[in-house]
Amino acid sequence: MFQKEIMIGGIRLRSNVLMAPLAGYTCFPFRLMVERLGAGSAYTEMVSADALKYNDRATSKLLFTDEREKLKCVQLLGSNPAFFERAVKSEALEKFDIIDINMGCPVPNVVKAGEGCALMDDIPRASRIIEACARSGKTVSVKCRIGMNRHKIVIEEFARMCEASGAAMITVHGRTRDMMYDGEPLYEYIRLAKKSVRIPVFANGGIDSKEKAAETMKKTGADGIMLARYGFENPLIFAELTNTECNETKYSLITEQLDIAQECFTELDALTYIKKLASYFLKKLPGTKQYKPGLYKCGNIPELRALLTDIFGGAC
């Protein structure tokens, strides 16, 4: 069910368990970690196709990578096909192997701008965006939902359009836009998407355990799964699902993450990232609530290192 290699366009992924792009979280250190634990791919945080022209520090930070990241995947957000085409052909994205187009973000300010999930309400524009990216010759994937609401579920038509426009893969979050991140995913619509196209279809949404991952595969018939927030809570799930040999603990993972973050980021950025990651690691761990106030008060790296040792103790 898991671990198998899979072809996306001309690119071979080492497994069919992927890490979703998440704003504020899927930075370079995290992508390196899940790749080592068995993830077939891990995407950058979403990057504005339009903002790339400014070449500012914030965008450069999102796009940071080096030779340690074997497969480089970027996710773009926007609504203008011309901006996408310019971005994909730009020097900033030259090093990336896979371009993922965000057509599933349900956040109000994104949808109001005609971006993210709003593109499922404008299929001709969505098609032009995919075509614009595909003209670059790079492998293109699309992440979407099943529709805007239960009265307008368009995933079959949308999936066929993605394939016809040049996408090599689609990931379907099994909820409508108005469901946001709540409620049981509507697995039958991911199955319909899978039956509608010949390209690989990955299932996303509501996967918070090994058992839920297997259930999602069974209910959808998908080619693989894409983990989201649970990947931050328990990155070791990648090794568990893909049978990757691993002797890591949460303590060893987070201290290594801090080492890499110090290499690539400013002290403030490294502190911010590790605090967020540690907070996720603490979920469902008994007796750890007491550490959260101290975690967020840490003002420097040595102080944070000492607290991480106190919290995780090298044993979890």
Cβ proximity of 171 and 144 under 8 Å = yes
| pLDDT grade for 135, boundaries at 50, 70 and 90 | very high
| pLDDT grade for 57, boundaries at 50, 70 and 90 | confident
Once rounded to an integer, what is the mean pLDDT over residues 257-268?
Answer: 95
Once rounded to an integer, what is the mean pLDDT over residues 1-8?
Answer: 86
Once rounded to an integer, what is the mean pLDDT over residues 279-307?
Answer: 87
> CA 63, CA 27: separation in Å to the nearest integer?
8
> CA 316, CA 311: separation in Å to the nearest integer?
9
| pLDDT grade for 287, boundaries at 50, 70 and 90 | confident
Domains and CATH numbers, the chain: 6-242 (3.20.20.70), 250-312 (no CATH)
| pLDDT grade for 312, boundaries at 50, 70 and 90 | confident
Strand 139-144 vs strand 147-149: parallel, antiparallel, or unpaired?
Answer: unpaired
The confidence score (pLDDT) of residue 316 equals: 56
Give tens-digit pLDDT for 78-94: 999 999 999 999 999 99
Residue 220 has a CB neighbour count (10 Å cut-off) of 24
Once rounded to an integer, what is the mean pLDDT over residues 49-70?
Answer: 90
Tell me how far the alpha carbon of residue 283 is from its chain's centroid: 20
b/e per residue, 161-179, with b = 16+ CB within 10 A?
bbbebbbbbbbbbbbbbeb
The confidence score (pLDDT) of residue 314 equals: 53
Residue 1, pLDDT > 80, answer no
The confidence score (pLDDT) of residue 290 equals: 84
Question: Cβ contacts of residue 17 below 8 Å, gap of 6+?
Answer: 2, 3, 38, 39, 40, 213, 224, 225, 227, 238, 241, 242
Start-to-end CA distance of the chain, whole Å, equals 28
b/e per residue, 285-297, with b = 16+ CB within 10 A?
eeebeebeeebee
Give catalytic status of residue 117 as yes or no. Answer: no
**Of 27, 73, 105, 117, which one is the catalytic site residue?**
105
The confidence score (pLDDT) of residue 315 equals: 53
Once rounded to an integer, what is the mean pLDDT over residues 44-50?
Answer: 95
Share above pLDDT 90 across residues of the chain, in percent, rounded to a whole number: 87
> CA 107, CA 77: separation in Å to the nearest integer?
12
Give tens-digit pLDDT for 191-230: 999 999 999 999 999 999 999 999 999 999 999 999 999 9
The confidence score (pLDDT) of residue 185 equals: 97
The CA radius of gyration of the chain, in Å to the nearest whole number, is 19
The confidence score (pLDDT) of residue 4 equals: 83
Give tens-digit pLDDT for 162-181: 999 999 999 999 999 999 99
SS (H, E, C) the chain: CCCCCEEECCEEECCCEEECCCCCCCCHHHHHHHHHCCCCCEEEEEEECCHHHHCCHHHHHHCCCCCCCCCCEEEEECCCHHHHHHHHCCHHHCCCCEEEEEECCCCHHHHHCCCHHHHHHCHHHHHHHHHHHHCCCCEEEEEECCEEECCEECHHHHHHHHHHHCCCEEEEECCCHHHCCCCCCCHHHHHHHHHHCCCCEEEECCCCCHHHHHHHHHHHCCCEEEECHHHHHCCCHHHHHHCCCCCCCHHHHHHHHHHHHHHHCCHHHHHHHHHHHHHHHCCCCCCCHHHHHHHHHCCCHHHHHHHHHHHHCCCC
SS (H, E, C) 136-169: CCCEEEEEECCEEECCEECHHHHHHHHHHHCCCE
- Put simply, whether the predicted model's pTM sits higher than 0.75 gets the answer yes
Q: Give the chain's mean pLDDT.
A: 94
Tokens of 201: 């279809």
